[in-house]
Structure 1
Amino acid sequence: MSDFSQRFLFDDSDVRGELVALDASYRHVLAKHAYPEPVAQLLGEMLAAAALLVGTLKFDGLLVLQARSAGAVPLLMVECSSERELRGIARYHAEQIAAGSGLHELMPDGTLTMTVEPARGQRYQGIVPLEGSNLADCLSSYFATSEQLPTRFWLNADGQRARGLLLQQLPADRLQDSEARAANWEHVVTLAGTLSTEELLGLDNETLLHRLYHEEALRLFEPRALQFRCSCSRDRSARALISLGQADVEQLLAEHGGEVVIDCQFCNQRYAFDAADVAQLFAGAGVQPPSDTRH
């Protein structure tokens, strides 16, 4: 299993953790676009973050992380479903990107938005400034300013692999004393802060946790698979056309040589509809396979 998250739990304190490893899914996202190295790294970190966050939520639906700025990278967007399917995209101005650029150079004065879209129930959204030295610090600040449990992130990506570590303080159970809880939380966070980029990217989970917490009693649970999958489809593209109205779609057909093409920004899949397709669509015949009139 090359793409997975794995939960761990400290037996003697109220802290849980999660580790995520993305290889194939990360490379699949990068294969769709020729991202400069700094953009690819930042996108990998956001993919790892979304996978970690899904592990903290109990819901059926979609988690969306979106960062926006007026800088060299105006948009980073990652989605992770409760089925643990990932996709992501970045928009960038190549001429403004220098090798080794970090978050502040790429996305100055940006904002980070986390949206939870449950299959049933109310949509939730939170927005914070992109402050901090990196994306992990920004996400940690997001949780610090919300009513969520204290949560810290460590994220790295190198264009081939994306890795993440999350620590989260749980409600008081094993440690009831507030000072003891605070001291324990500071202890586990400080140890995690000694982890190097090379260690996070290169060590397997058992070795990594032993390196950090060999004096602690903890349980490592079974890994859970993650994978790249785009949610685009011909059916969804057809519904988008229907929402425009028949007159507007027919106008698009006339302007584009008798064919309307919808491109998925995430996976570059193309969905083409000619006049026969559009006629079937607005006649209520549903979404048909590409018609034989198009070659």
Structure 2
Amino acid sequence: MTEQRMTEQRDDTVLPFAVEALDMRGRIARLGPALDTILTRHAYPAPVARLLGEACALCVLLGTTLKEEGRFQLQTRTDGVVDLLVVDFDAPDRLRAFARFNAQKLAALEAGDREHLLGHGHLAFTVEQGGDNARYQGLAPVEAGSLQQAALSYFTQSEQIPSFVRLAVGQVVTPQGTQWRAGGLLAQFLPHSPERQRMADFPPGDAPEGHAAPEFVEDDAWTEARLLAATVEDHELLDPNLTGADLAWRLFNERGVKVFATRAVREACRCSDARVEDMLRNFTQAERDDMVHDGKITVTCEFCSTKRVYDPEDFKV
């Protein structure tokens, strides 16, 4: 490992790493103040905060693959108590997020019921790389209320890359008080030979009776890499005193792990006075008239909760 292990910033970073002996690449996300700002600003109930924290960790694990420009968005739409999660990552480092939930249904939910908290639906990843690059969207089913499983389904079905994902969210006590934190680990098997990367086929729905599917044998390198990654503990992903490089070393040092420069993450919304004013001008006069309450037009950003108040006369043609 490099000297970065001794000096790495602990909070609000994503650390890329590689274990070349096992043909594995991965990323470790550690979110602290940025996530705490997002969650406490909206005063989300703890179950909703944990779910949105997982979504933020997953988003930055994937979004930081973008370089200096572009946008990565994670969005869920489900039939659960939390029916909408939206997380935006604007390269190189800006993160924002919000959740929509039914407070009455949440109050009636049994403690620990994640299946009905998130529910069933779909997870969408949207990538906009800027310039002339095409917009890309990938979808995966959300089942049993698990973002981890939805992400694995996406990599398995859409990308066909053997992958491991672990997400953790919790509150820790710091000298400044209680703080929300999140961590994530993504490990992927990326050998040079596509044949080594193959995965088990899905069960054939129309196979004749008595048909024996060929036995699938997972590549030994990926088996070892996955088992090593699975030893990660939630408290390690959340520990404010443990760097991502230290965690990578703990998990993979026996096989030789190489870490790269961390990517910083910060909480920042893209809303601005100019953007909101342009949006209002794009509405028809009738639509703006419907927005008037007590003689003013009030616009509150769903992400950062910034409230802006306008005089309707300023937008009349």
> What's the TM-score once normalised by structure 1's chain length?
0.85
**8 Å CA contact 1:59, 1:118 repeated in 2:** no
* Pair 1:182 & 2:219 matched: yes
How far 1:227 moved relative to its partner? Answer: 0.3
Q: Which amino acid aligns with 2:307?
A: R
The structure-2 alpha-carbon separation of the partners of 1:176 and 1:245, relative to structure 1 and needing over 3 Å to count, comes to closer
Instruction: Determine helix, strand or coil for the equivalent of 1:272.
Output: strand
Q: Tell me the residue number matched to 2:175.
A: none
Q: Tell me the residue number matched to 1:172.
A: 192
Q: Which amino acid aligns with 1:259?
A: K
CA distance in 2, matches of 1:126, 1:144: 12
CA distance in 2, matches of 1:88, 1:171: 34
The structure-2 alpha-carbon separation of the partners of 1:144 and 1:278, relative to structure 1 and needing over 3 Å to count, comes to same
The structure-2 alpha-carbon separation of the partners of 1:99 and 1:224, relative to structure 1 and needing over 3 Å to count, comes to farther
CA distance in 1, matches of 2:43, 2:196: 52
Instruction: Determine helix, strand or coil for the equivalent of 2:255.
Output: coil
Q: Tell me the residue number matched to 2:29.
A: 20
Instruction: Determine helix, strand or coil for the equivalent of 2:167.
Output: strand
How far 1:176 moved relative to its partner? Answer: 8.2
How far 1:132 moved relative to its partner? Answer: 5.5
**8 Å CA contact 1:36, 1:94 repeated in 2:** no
Q: Tell me the residue number matched to 1:293.
A: none
The structure-2 alpha-carbon separation of the partners of 1:219 and 1:19, relative to structure 1 and needing over 3 Å to count, comes to same
* Pair 1:130 & 2:130 matched: no
**8 Å CA contact 1:18, 1:55 repeated in 2:** no
CA distance in 2, matches of 1:149, 1:14: 12
**8 Å CA contact 2:78, 2:121 repeated in 1:** yes
Instruction: Determine helix, strand or coil for the equivalent of 1:71.
Output: coil
* Pair 1:119 & 2:139 matched: no
Instruction: Determine helix, strand or coil for the equivalent of 1:161.
Output: strand
CA distance in 2, matches of 1:48, 1:106: 18
Q: Map 1:260-271 to 2 at 5 A.
A: 260-271=297-308
Provide Cα deviations, 1:155-206, integer angstroms capped at 9, x if missing partner.
Answer: 0011411001111222417x98669982111211111112221222224323
**8 Å CA contact 2:66, 2:92 repeated in 1:** no
Provide Cα deviations, 1:198-222, integer angstroms capped at 9, x if missing partner.
Answer: 2222243233223322211111122
Count, aligned residues: 277
How far 1:58 moved relative to its partner? Answer: 5.2
- Among all aligned residue pairs of Structure 1 and Structure 2, give the percentage whose two residues are the same amino acid: 35
Q: Which amino acid aligns with 1:258?
A: G
Q: Tell me the residue number matched to 2:234.
A: 197
Q: Tell me the residue number matched to 1:151.
A: 163
Q: Tell me the residue number matched to 2:13.
A: 4
Q: Tell me the residue number matched to 2:206.
A: none
How far 1:99 moved relative to its partner? Answer: 6.3
Q: Which amino acid aligns with 2:264?
A: A
How far 1:245 moved relative to its partner? Answer: 2.0
After TM superposition, where is structure 1 displaced by more than 4 Å over at least 4 residues in a row?
A: 175-181
Q: Tell me the residue number matched to 2:153.
A: 141
* Pair 1:221 & 2:260 matched: yes
> What's the TM-score once normalised by structure 2's chain length?
0.80
**8 Å CA contact 2:269, 2:304 repeated in 1:** yes
CA distance in 1, matches of 2:153, 2:196: 25
**8 Å CA contact 1:116, 1:125 repeated in 2:** yes
Q: Tell me the residue number matched to 2:182.
A: 162
The structure-2 alpha-carbon separation of the partners of 1:233 and 1:178, relative to structure 1 and needing over 3 Å to count, comes to closer
Q: Tell me the residue number matched to 1:291.
A: none
Q: Tell me the residue number matched to 2:207.
A: none
**8 Å CA contact 1:102, 1:134 repeated in 2:** no
Instruction: Determine helix, strand or coil for the equivalent of 2:123.
Output: strand
* Pair 1:96 & 2:108 matched: no
How far 1:247 moved relative to its partner? Answer: 4.2
CA distance in 1, matches of 2:248, 2:113: 27
Q: Which amino acid aligns with 1:11?
A: E
Instruction: Determine helix, strand or coil for the equivalent of 1:74.
Output: strand
CA distance in 2, matches of 1:137, 1:268: 31
Q: Map 1:17-56 to 2 at 5 A.
A: 17-56=26-65
Q: Which amino acid aligns with 1:213?
A: F
Let me know the Cα RMSD of the aligned residues: 2.4
Instruction: Determine helix, strand or coil for the equivalent of 1:155.
Output: strand
Alignment gaps of 5+ in structure 1: 283-295
